[in-house]
Structure 1
Amino acid sequence: MRMNTVKSKPVVAYTDLGEATALNYHLSRNIAQRAYRRADADDKKVISGMVSDCEFIEEWLTTGRRPGNKRGIERRAGYEREILLDPIRMQAFASDSKAGSPANLSDDQRFQLEYALNQLSERERECYTLAHGQCIPHSEIAKMLGITYGSVSEYVQRAQRKISDTVENSLFFV
């Protein structure tokens, strides 16, 4: 970024670095570091935030993992990798969308989902539908329902076990 002054009005020139790649974020970080060295005390705080953001994103794009995570997606525990019901179907069931989306459910699929969810208690169904059908984080569900984060996690895990048993032992899921 280059600033020129013409008649006491700043003219700012921007450089488009293209798409979001690790190399472009590296170049952006270098530009921000050079600007940091020339900046006054007020601007240094803002520019240092830009530099740290560029470093964060550059690491994420380079490693393919969120910086600071100790365990990558490929090393999750078995219950975290398990998909008990097709997420697209679950979201279509929860939102009850009638739009022309491929996520629309047939009557048979809707019956299977209702059968599986009817095996759950009211609270388990509520937590499971919010977590998997509407993709709401457990912390938000806990706030919405006025229960603890641990309770939400327990209800969702219990619901997953019950649905897994239902899917394995039911003639409706073929």
Structure 2
Amino acid sequence: MSMRRLILEYKQSLRLVRKQKEKVKADINKLEKQAKKAGLFKKEQIKQQIAVLERDKKLLSDMEGELLYAIEWMTTARRPGNRRGAERLSIEQRTVTLPDSFFNNIAYAEQEEIEIDEEKQKILEEITWDLTEREKDVFSLAKGEGFTIEYISQLLGISSGNVKKALYRAEKKIEKNIKNFIENEKK
């Protein structure tokens, strides 16, 4: 899903929340008018209904705030309310420690640049067309870069079990696609 589409969906949700909040406010006003004209027993019932609607209104207000926060974060690519951007962080906050294998893989990749012609690129795309973004990331990091499952899980911020699952699924899909590709080539 693209970021634009995600932002549009969040904005649509924000409109729905605001619409529902206005409806709840109108219901509260209507009940308050009824309470002025009602008797003592009926007034208590109406006050309880108003209390429930007030809780709903607070919940909707909280949802509205969270949606606005998320939309601002997605549109500006910065955490809302930050006074200092990443470029103004201290050296400790900007430093990222990477394992030694990371640099070894980069050095190896720079030594041996592989040029892929159009035909090989098409084959590669045909073999990996049905992989999800996560599966592609995990597969390329594990098989292409040689990173460990634990490091990939830290890098992507997911559990090692999810990394293993994504790698297994990617391998199975690629294996199936290679078989299909070979069968189609024979025809």
TM-score (normalizing by structure 1): 0.39
> Going by fraction, where is strand more abundant, 1 or 2?
1
TM-score (normalizing by structure 2): 0.37
> Going by fraction, where is helix more abundant, 1 or 2?
2
Q: Which has the higher contact order (CA 8 A, sep 6+)?
A: 2
